[in-house]
Amino acid sequence: MAARLIAVVLLVPPLVAGCNGDDPSADVLLADARPADARPADTRPAEPDGPPLPEVELPRSSILPAELGLIVNEDDPRSKEIASYYAAARGIPAANLITVKLPTTAVVDPAVFKPIKAQVDAATPPGVQAYALTWMLPYRVGCMSITSAFALGHDPKYCNDPALSGQSCSITADVPYFMKESTRPFTDFGIRPTMALAGVDAKQVKALVDRGLAAGDTLPPGKGYLIRTTDAVRSDPRYEAFQTSLKQLDHPGGVELEYIDNSQGPAEEDVISGKKDVLFYFTGLTHVPKLETNTYRPGAVADHLTSVGGVLSPPGSGGQMSVLRWLEAGVTGSYGTVVEPCNMWQKFPDTRVLLPYYFRGNTLVEAYWKSVKWPGEGIFVGDPLARPFGTWVTRDADSLTIRTTILMPLEDYELRGLDPKTGKMELIQKLRIDRFELVEITIKPIRHTKYRLGKGSSF
- The answer to whether the CB of 361 falls within 8 A of the CB of 405 is yes
| Residue 396: predicted pLDDT | 85
245 in helix, strand or coil?
A: helix
Bridge-based pairing state of the strands 333-337 and 223-228 = unpaired
Q: At what angle are helices 351-359 and 239-249 packed, to 10 degrees?
A: 30
- Any residues with CB less than 8 A from the CB of 125 and at least 6 apart, and which? 69, 93, 95, 96
Encode 387-425 in three state secondary structure.
CCCCEEEEECCCCEEEEECCCCCCCCEEEEEECCCCCEE
| Residue 32: predicted pLDDT | 52
User: Which residue, 332, 352, 333, 344, is CA-closest to 376?
Assistant: 344
The answer, yes or no, to whether the previous bond of 162 is cis (omega within 30 of 0) is no
- The answer to whether the CB of 353 falls within 8 A of the CB of 368 is no
274 Ramachandran zone, left/alpha/beta (phi>0; psi -120 to 50):
left
pLDDT per residue of the chain (459 residues) written in tens, 0 to 9: 333 333 333 343 332 223 333 333 346 566 655 444 333 333 333 444 556 678 999 999 999 999 999 999 999 999 999 999 999 999 999 999 999 999 999 999 999 999 999 999 999 999 999 999 999 999 999 999 999 999 999 999 999 865 555 556 889 999 999 999 999 999 999 999 999 999 999 999 999 999 999 999 999 999 999 999 999 999 999 999 999 999 999 999 999 999 999 999 999 999 999 999 999 999 999 999 999 999 999 999 999 999 999 999 877 666 899 999 999 999 999 999 999 999 999 999 999 999 999 999 999 999 999 999 999 999 999 999 999 999 999 988 889 999 999 999 999 999 999 998 899 999 999 999 999 999 999 999 998 989 999 997 655
> Measuring CA to CA, how many Å separate 389 from each of 314, 367, 406, 440, 442?
32, 12, 8, 14, 19
| Residue 398: predicted pLDDT | 86
User: Which residue, 83, 26, 6, 99, is CA-closest to 452?
Assistant: 26
| Residue 50: predicted pLDDT | 56
Global confidence as pTM: 0.91
**Which residues in 109-148 are b (16+ Cβ under 10 Å) and which e?**
ebeebeebbeebeebbeeebbbbbbbbbbbbbbbbbbbbb
Bridge-based pairing state of the strands 107-108 and 68-73 = unpaired
- The number of CA neighbours under 13 Å toward the Cβ of 65 is 15
Instruction: Order the strands of the 413-418 sheet from edge to edge.
Output: 28-31, 55-59, 450-455, 413-418, 425-431
